[in-house]
Amino acid sequence: MRKFFTLSDLDVKGKRVLVRVDFNVPLDKKTNEITDDKRIRESLPTIKYLVERDAKVILCSHLGRPDGKVVDSLRMDKVAVRLGKLLNKNIKKINGCVGKDVKDEISKMNNGDVVVLENLRFHPEEEANDKNFSKQLADLAELYVNDAFGTCHRAHASTYGVTKHLKSAAGFLVEKELNVMGKAIENPKKPFIGILGGVKISDKIKIIENLLLKVDKLLLGGAMIFTFYRAQGKNVGNSKIDEEGIELAKKLLQNKKIVLPVDVIIADKFDANANSKVVDANNIPNDWMGLDIGPETIKNYKEILKNAKTVVWNGPLGVFEFDKFSNGTKEIAKFLSALKAVTIVGGGDSAAAVEKFGYAGKLTHVSTGGGASLEFFEGKKLPGIQALEESCKRFR
């Protein structure tokens, strides 16, 4: 039995429904325009469902990091405009998120209307999961829906505190993320292969340990491989090293599921136009640094991946932001996009990478949550989901 309510458990007709969405979209540094509206588009199924069932839809989200102060460039107005275009509907933006004026605006709503509240993080009480602020948010509505998977790893007022007061359910996006990733990790079709990149082993130790319990092989890339090489006594030149992770790497290397690159692409400086060459992993010269996995490694990894039935990937395999060092990440993304397997990419940089190279649509699932998907693969219970489960017990 499911432990939390979903949209179909709610009787929403004519009701005020507070929906926590993840409208934390990237903004252009110069023009302040939205550069990618994927997160808004991902929330549309839940919003449309509620509109079609005559709910009064009150959307709330954070945007950027205003740190508890009003920052004009981080107001939700442009998000509301973009949402209006995507829904082809008039959307009202309200200049606050709690209090009498906001309540007055909401009292004017008709069934099927949608409003967007101001940036939640203009209030320090949001991130502090303040009891009073949670109650004030809850006072705006009769029901609550969490569709902000990307924020489910945070116990904030709008993801946690608010659920104490209202019957609460998961939106379609949260449900989808949990279903697809949960099935992959708990009941994977085998062979199950993990791919892990990124920088620090110490940051990723929990996900490495958890994945090693489940996968048949764990393929490594990114800067973390140099910490493993150091643990093996190899010379790594100027490559990025996680000193604290060396002892951990030694321990992890006893697990034979771990696969390291046999060759790397090295550069004479950390620069998009650096001189580069391919070397064997045993021959990294002093003064050079490894910035991508090499062609022999790509071949090896494809050979292992070709029989996989489930693949989970977190963290880019090289400095994908530089064209010259993006090949490993690109080639593996391309290979996965044609694989007959469940292919899942955790959010954050790896999601940005597969999106950039145009393969996101051909994978089974690209998570919208960076930190949230990481914590999910670490085996942690996400506070936002825990809150939904507690609410389900309270309002059953």
Kindly tell me which residue out of 199, 266, 354, 366 binds ligand AMP, with binding defined by CB under 6 A. Answer: 199
Interactions with ligand AMP, residue window 279-308 (CB under 6 A): 290-291
Kindly tell me which residue out of 19, 215, 223, 305 binds ligand AMP, with binding defined by CB under 6 A. Answer: 223
Kindly tell me which residue out of 237, 261, 318, 384 binds ligand AMP, with binding defined by CB under 6 A. Answer: 318
Kindly tell me which residue out of 161, 222, 237, 347 binds ligand AMP, with binding defined by CB under 6 A. Answer: 222
Does 74 bind ligand AMP (CB under 6 A)? Our answer is no
Kindly tell me which residue out of 198, 245, 347, 369 binds ligand AMP, with binding defined by CB under 6 A. Answer: 198
Q: Tell me if residue 194 is catalytic.
A: no
Catalytic residue among 68, 96, 112, 371: 371
Q: Tell me if residue 347 is catalytic.
A: no
Kindly tell me which residue out of 55, 58, 319, 392 binds ligand AMP, with binding defined by CB under 6 A. Answer: 319
* Residue nearer to ligand AMP on the CB measure, 58 or 319: 319
Q: Tell me if residue 369 is catalytic.
A: no
Does 315 bind ligand AMP (CB under 6 A)? Our answer is yes
Does 240 bind ligand AMP (CB under 6 A)? Our answer is yes
CA angle at 372 for the pair 366 and 375, rounded to the nearest 5°: 110
Backbone torsions φ then ψ of 213, nearest 5 degrees:
-70, -25
Does 369 bind ligand AMP (CB under 6 A)? Our answer is no
CB 321, min distance to ligand AMP, A: 5
Q: Tell me if residue 371 is catalytic.
A: yes
Catalytic residue among 200, 250, 324, 380: 200
Which region among 3-11, 138-146, 192-200, 211-219 touches ligand AMP (by CB under 6 A)?
A: 192-200
Which region among 94-102, 170-178, 249-257, 319-327 touches ligand AMP (by CB under 6 A)?
A: 319-327
> Closest residue (Cβ) to ligand AMP?
198
Kindly tell me which residue out of 321, 355, 378, 390 binds ligand AMP, with binding defined by CB under 6 A. Answer: 321
Catalytic residue among 348, 369, 370, 384: 348
Q: What is the 3-state secondary structure (H, E, C) of the chain?
A: CCCCEEHHHCCCCCCEEEEECCCCCCECCCCCCECCCHHHHHHHHHHHHHHHCCCEEEEECCCCCCCCCCCHHHCCHHHHHHHHHHHCCCCEECCCCCCHHHHHHHHCCCCCCEEECCCHHHCHHHHCCCHHHHHHHHCCCCEEEECCHHHCCCCCCCCCHHHHCCEEEECHHHHHHHHHHHHHHHCCCCCEEEEECCCCHHHHHHHHHHHHHHCCEEEECCCHHHHHHHHCCCCCCCCCCCHHHHHHHHHHCCCCCEECCCEEEEECCCCCCCCEEEEECCCCCCCCEEEEECHHHHHHHHHHHCCCCEEEEECCCCCCCCHHHCHHHHHHHHHHHCCCCEEEECCCHHHHHHHHCCCHHHCCEECCCHHHHHHHHCCCCCHHHHHHHHHHHHHC
How many chain residues interact with ligand AMP (CB under 6 A)? 16
Catalytic residues: 39, 200, 348, 371
Which residues contact ligand AMP (rule: CB under 6 A)? 197-199, 203, 222-223, 240, 290-291, 315-316, 318-321, 349
